[in-house]
Structure 1
Amino acid sequence: MFRSRRPSRRGFLAATIGAAALAALPVSAQPIGGVAVVDQERMFRQSAFGAQLLSEIDAQGDELAAENREIEATLTAEERSLTEARAELDPAEFRDRARVFDEKVRRLRAEQDAKARALADLQEDARATFVRRVSPVLSALLAEIGADVLLDRRMVLTAGTGVDITDRAIARIDETLAAEEADGAGAETPPAATDASD
């Protein structure tokens, strides 16, 4: 009748980020052929900035899921009550009540679906904000390690240890954005998800 829904999360980082090259790592840890690899989802979730962007959205997603469960339980009880009363009601009255109940279900489903779509849009906004803020940091890191291309690990069948720079990228993002915030630049945050919880 009515199912709890949470929007899915989709990919957010462009496949490649170009950069100039001058290697600063030991030979054993240098990217192969000018290519570095990063786990973009882990970078988003484990960096301080990405976690900050996600925390409020995840909380609102949990709130929306709980709201959906409460609505579903209420509608289930109303449907059971209507079914039990059917034998005592005039057929015309039962049809009227059933029609009103059906309209209520449709209205609530549309409202909750709209909230889920709004929350999904906010998740995409948060990921776009993250990419916008960290792209210059990643480009500088690629120049430092001597790589020209950054690939999402999901696009790579296999990669050597020195090619995956996820941990280093997370550390650099945290360091750089913390310094920017300390200098007064501040951290971007996505719009408040008012449509997802009202």
Structure 2
Amino acid sequence: MADHVMLELPPLADSFYRRPVALVARELIGATLLFRGAGGPIVETEAYDHEDPASHSVKGPNSRNRSMFGPPGHAYVYRSYGLHWCLNVVCGLTPGAAVLIRAIEPLVGIEEMRSRRGDLPDRQLCSGPGRLCAALGIEGSCDGHDLTRPPFSFSSGPSCSKVLIGTRIGISQASDVPGRFGLAGSAFLSRPFR
């Protein structure tokens, strides 16, 4: 997909984010994420609801997760294990729900991504939430940012009929919940689906 074609895709409407978290997570597959002009189609997500024991919001708002309780269509960015930034899309019908963006297919600004991540194959640049944020330069200052405004751009993509559904990765609670979504056949997933 050429850069100019990706930039012409219609932006996701505010109403897109005001729907059930699992639906948003599934329908973000194929949508395009750009941050300061670099990015590509989203190929993997995970859904976290406010009642989910694995969610950061299950015990209510605090200084770390306050963005999860803000308006849908905003970023919740947190540091995982004190090492990696992770980008979530706040969404849902009730406060405290968000979609973790786990992987994209890097198509725009690849050299810029490599300048941050090293001379890696395209497949390894953004295949995981920490890698994705490192490649795009997303960090804690993005927490709470409106995703419908620069430096973010979320655009609709083609409807993906072949979306895989599986259990989420790297959690100790509710690890059997089928809340992970991925583009079937993508070489850019963080891990294969079983």
- TM-score class, shorter: under 0.3
Structure with greater proportional strand content: 2
Question: TM-score if structure 1 supplies the norm length?
Answer: 0.22
Which has the greater radius of gyration? 1
More helix by percentage: 1
What TM-score comes out, normalization by structure 2 length? 0.22
